[in-house]
Amino acid sequence: MVSQLVNHSLLSYILSSPVSGVLTLVAIVMAITIHEFAHAWVADYKGDPTPRSHNRLTLNPLAHLDRLGTLLLVVVGFGWGKPVPIDEFNLKNPRLDTALIALAGPSINLVAAVAATLLIIIVPAGQSFVVSGFLAPFILVNLVLAFFNLLPIYPLDGSKILLLFFSEETGQEISYFLQEYSLIIFILALLPWFNNQSLVFIIINPLIIASLYYLNLLVSLFV
């Protein structure tokens, strides 16, 4: 199933295996929703009312899905959610709080992957389709979303977290550079330069494989 998702668009996967494809689409929508909701919740907790005023403090997927991003996700297998607007002037400690808001998205995806793994442990043995049809892709999607967003490429979450490790002046220079050349950096990172593999794949694939190994190990301890 994983190879099908990697080698084909989600649309072709849905057409070839409708039930599994729709369940995978639901898993993706849920992963994107909790990711964006986490950004909104932490921003609101840190004193920025902007996400709340834009109706982003909700688990309703419609509030977090970008129309074009969702369409491309289904057709070509690559898309995005609607970014959560924040106003750094409302934050008490803009540099730290912005990094925490950015970290919230990938963090909730990792938590969701672990939670889904625990569900696999308690799902009755006869309900294997629940595991293969929904929980397995839900875990994979959350891991991909988490590690991909931690990359230090603007406008991904990692680009905001990265700035916390530099002085304010150096951080501003890095931020300007990442924003100025974001499209070029993104294209270079996604192109298959290395043995038909992109730099993004080379970085996040080992992290995903390692995470799946330890999650499978967790399941094997109880099943």
DSSP 60: -
Q: Which of 36, 168, 173, 180 is catalytic?
A: 36
Residue (of 181, 22, 163) closest to 189 by Cα position:
181
- 161 with 99: CB under 8 angstroms? yes
Examine the residue annotation and report whether 168 is marked as an active-site residue of this protein: no
In DSSP terms, which residues pair with 65 in a beta bridge? 81
Distance set, CA 158 to CA 48, 51, 75, 135 (Å): 20, 20, 26, 26
Distance set, CA 126 to CA 25, 74, 91, 120, 123 (Å): 24, 31, 50, 12, 8
Q: For the chain, how many residues are written?
A: 223
Q: How far apart are the first and last CA of the chain?
A: 22
> What are the residue numbers of the active site?
36
